[in-house]
Amino acid sequence: MLYLVGFGLHSYKDITLRGLEAVKGSATVYLESYTSIHGESLDAFEKLIGKKVHLADRAMMEQTDKIVDESCRENVSLLVVGTPLFATTHSDIMIRAKEKGVDVEVIHNASIINVLGCCGLYSYSFGRVVSIPYFTERWKPTSFYDNIVRNHQSNLHTLCLLDIRTDEDRFMSVNEAVDQILEAAAITGSPLINEDTRIFAVCRFGSPSEEIVYGKIGDLKLRSFGDPLHSLIVPAELDRVEAELVGSLFK
Amino acid sequence: MLYLVGFGLHSYKDITLRGLEAVKGSATVYLESYTSIHGESLDAFEKLIGKKVHLADRAMMEQTDKIVDESCRENVSLLVVGTPLFATTHSDIMIRAKEKGVDVEVIHNASIINVLGCCGLYSYSFGRVVSIPYFTERWKPTSFYDNIVRNHQSNLHTLCLLDIRTDEDRFMSVNEAVDQILEAAAITGSPLINEDTRIFAVCRFGSPSEEIVYGKIGDLKLRSFGDPLHSLIVPAELDRVEAELVGSLFK
């Protein structure tokens, strides 16, 4: 049996009781460490479950069937920061397991998608989620910007997830993201977003040091937002109730 | 202190360890019973936490400040099926608490929004979420249909949440939703969705009896989908990888 267990947003205490049961009943426990990072050291969690947590990096996840093959013989838990199946990597391991006749149980949990609504914006008024990848000198894809503009034209807010390179220990900051957004505005010649645009900077969502800041890009550029992970929300026009909620939450 | 505690999708075992700590440390525990229903009897949970869970209906949530006032004096937990803050009702109680000087802690959990990705579709390829309200003889709003069409025109999938009337013990079924979608197609004269359109019926998401069916509307109309809660996903064109994943998951 393979358990895909959502590990939640920050602390080992974000695991569900059902997740904990699965982990305790597994011979081997992995933590998927390629698409995200976990907020805490694993010591307290390893003590709680009475066994070691092995890290599953990109090679382990994508280039071998080790985890699937082990779960043919015994119970294996794969912890996923946030919730399982939000990234294709996890759908893929589920399908490979099923193809080898292994039962798979998914244990859901909170993920960054749960931030919808936390800023006083309607969850129903979000358009597609976009991902902002690190630009290089030669590679500056601007499709994320086009999608923000498209959402905005339909009066929909945009949750922007920022690039993570766990193998290089690099996590895009609000400041880097904002610079790239302004660069994309210049490249595409579509000036929807500029220094006066008000956005939400979402930092360390779900952790005790969570910080959500609402302000003009020009002002946000001047401050630091601390440790990863960071995300952004680019709001469309706020309706009356949203404006009231945002006003109350961000005085 | 007021704890807004996500109760997860189905079982009391879907609560997180952090949520359980908050509940155990609270003088009074409420379950918000107006925007959703919980899948199980509360007996086992009440036994686990050693106290009674009081139901908070619409009147309690919206017409009084009882919960907020109690949390001025002592720790109170408000359990929310799924995750807190996805519905405006919960943002509203958070703001009223903050206005009265009460500290609020939000403990996130999985919700129906976590279904994005579970069908083999990219989470990034979903447009805005729509809600399908019960039609009456005289009131047949079709804006949900327009939004499905708009998503589809941008090649985005649509998660459709179905109406819940907890006070009348009425929960819209896949069959009722599909009938209303076809009626809306006729009213608006926009024939995007018809009996040949393939959709996903998502039933009792996150529970042991979870069932996800992929098929033509004409075929889905002929079968029953069992107990609530039901949701739908209307996919746009699948890309190559999505088609492969969907093909593997729904043989």
Residue where one domain finishes, among candidates A68, A91, A110: A110
The answer to whether the Cβ–Cβ distance between B131 and A124 falls below 8 Å is yes
The answer to whether the Cβ–Cβ distance between B116 and A114 falls below 8 Å is no
CA distance B60 to chain A (A): 20
DSSP-assigned beta bridge partners for residue B157: B126
Residue A112 marked as a ligand binder: yes
Chain A neighbors of B12, CB-CB under 8 A: 17
User: What digits encode the pLDDT tens for the residues B196-217?
Assistant: 999 999 999 999 899 999 999 9
For residues A78 and A67, the answer to whether their CB atoms sit within 8 Å is yes
Q: Are residues B129 and B86 in the same domain?
A: no
User: Buried b vs exposed e over A81-107: b needs ≥16 C-beta within 10 Å?
Assistant: bbbbbbbbbbbbbbbbbbeeebebebb
Q: Are residues A89 and A147 in the same domain?
A: no
Residue where one domain finishes, among candidates A110, A125, A149: A110
Q: Which of B86, B120, B154 sits opposite A117 (nearest CB)?
A: B86
For residues B164 and B112, the answer to whether their CB atoms sit within 8 Å is no
Which amino acid, one-letter code, is at A125? S
Per-residue pLDDT for B182 more than 90? yes
Per-residue pLDDT for A20 more than 90? yes
Residue where one domain finishes, among candidates A110, A128, A143: A110
For residues B73 and B50, the answer to whether their CB atoms sit within 8 Å is no
- The whole-chain average pLDDT of chain A stands at 94
Chain A neighbors of B88, CB-CB under 8 A: 117, 122, 241, 245
Say which CATH number the domain at A217 has. 3.30.950.10
pLDDT at A202: 97
Indicate which of A9, A124, A159 best probes the interface with B, i.e. most B CBs within 10 Å of its own CB: A124
The answer to whether the Cβ–Cβ distance between B17 and A13 falls below 8 Å is yes
Q: Are residues B128 and B161 in the same domain?
A: yes
Q: Are residues B209 and B148 in the same domain?
A: yes
Which chain B residue lies closest to A11 (C-alpha atoms)?
B18
Type and span of the H or E element at A213: strand A211-216
Which amino acid, one-letter code, is at A151? N
Which amino acid, one-letter code, is at A130? V
Q: Look up tokens 């926009």; give the residue.
A: B190
What DSSP string runs through A160-182? EEE-EEGGGTEE--HHHHHHHHH
The answer to whether the Cβ–Cβ distance between A109 and B245 falls below 8 Å is no
Residue A2 marked as a ligand binder: no
Q: Based on the structure, what is the number of domains in chain B?
A: 2
Per-residue pLDDT for B39 more than 90? no
User: What digits encode the pLDDT tens for the residues B142-164?
Assistant: 999 999 999 999 999 999 999 99
Q: Are residues A175 and A86 in the same domain?
A: no
For residues A56 and A34, the answer to whether their CB atoms sit within 8 Å is yes
Give the domain range for residue B22: 2-110
**In the structure encoding, which two tokens stand for residue A223, read together?**
């401050």
Q: Are residues A65 and A140 in the same domain?
A: no
CA distance A116 to chain B (A): 7
For residues A207 and A39, the answer to whether their CB atoms sit within 8 Å is yes
Residues B15, B19: Cα–Cα separation, whole Å? 6
Which of the 8 DSSP states describes residue A74? S
End-to-end CA distance of chain B: 50
Q: Are residues A100 and A154 in the same domain?
A: no
Which of the 8 DSSP states describes residue A197? -
Which amino acid, one-letter code, is at B239? D
pLDDT at A217: 97
Say which CATH number the domain at A21 has. 3.40.1010.10
Which chain A residue lies closest to B107 (C-alpha atoms)?
A206
Q: Are residues A179 and A85 in the same domain?
A: no
Place B125 in a pLDDT band, splitting at 50, 70 and 90.
Answer: very high
**What is the signed CA dihedral for B6, B9, B13, B19, rounded to 10 degrees?**
-10
Chain A neighbors of B10, CB-CB under 8 A: none
Indicate which of A12, A15, A107, A108 best probes the interface with B, i.e. most B CBs within 10 Å of its own CB: A108
For residues A85 and A93, the answer to whether their CB atoms sit within 8 Å is no
For residues B145 and B181, the answer to whether their CB atoms sit within 8 Å is yes
Q: Are residues A156 and A216 in the same domain?
A: yes
Q: Are residues A47 and A103 in the same domain?
A: yes
Alpha helices per DSSP H over A40-173: 43-49, 58-62, 66-73, 88-99, 143-153
Per-residue pLDDT for A59 more than 90? no
Per-residue pLDDT for B64 more than 90? no
Type and span of the H or E element at A217: helix A217-220
pLDDT at B89: 82
The answer to whether the Cβ–Cβ distance between A109 and B113 falls below 8 Å is no
User: What digits encode the pLDDT tens for the residues A21-34?
Assistant: 999 999 999 999 88
Chain A neighbors of B21, CB-CB under 8 A: 13
Length of chain B (residues): 251
pLDDT at A11: 93
Which of B130, B150, B151 minimizes the C-alpha distance to B141?
A: B130
Q: Are residues A74 and A145 in the same domain?
A: no
Per-residue pLDDT for A45 more than 90? yes
Q: Are residues A142 and A217 in the same domain?
A: yes
Place B63 in a pLDDT band, splitting at 50, 70 and 90.
Answer: confident
DSSP helix/strand/coil, A93: helix
For B109, phi then psi, to 5°, come to -160, 180
**What is the signed CA dihedral for B203, B208, B209, B211, rounded to 10 degrees?**
50
Q: Which three-class secondary structure string do you get for chain B? A: CEEEEEEECCCHHHCEHHHHHHHHCCCEEEEECCCCCCCCCCHHHHHHHCCCEEEECHHHHHCCCHHHHHHHHCCEEEEEEECCCCCHHHHHHHHHHHHCCCCEEEECCCCHHHHCCCCCCCHHHECCCEEECCCCCCCCCCHHHHHHHHHHHCCCEEEEEECEEHHHCEECCHHHHHHHHHHHHHHHCCCCCCCCCEEEEEECCCCCCCEEEEEEHHHHCCCCCCCCCEEEEECCCCCHHHHHHHHHHCC
pLDDT at A231: 97
Q: Which of B8, B86, B241 sits opposite A88 (nearest CB)?
A: B241
Chain B neighbors of A129, CB-CB under 8 A: 123-124, 126
Q: Which of A98, A113, A248 sits opposite B95 (nearest CB)?
A: A248
Cis peptide before B229 (omega within 30 of 0): yes
For residues A57 and A37, the answer to whether their CB atoms sit within 8 Å is no
The answer to whether the Cβ–Cβ distance between B248 and A124 falls below 8 Å is no
Which of B9, B116, B206 minimizes the C-alpha distance to A86?
A: B116
**Angle subtended at Cα A236 by Cα A234 and Cα A241, rounded to the nearest 5 degrees:** 115
Q: Which of B13, B91, B150 sits opposite A18 (nearest CB)?
A: B13
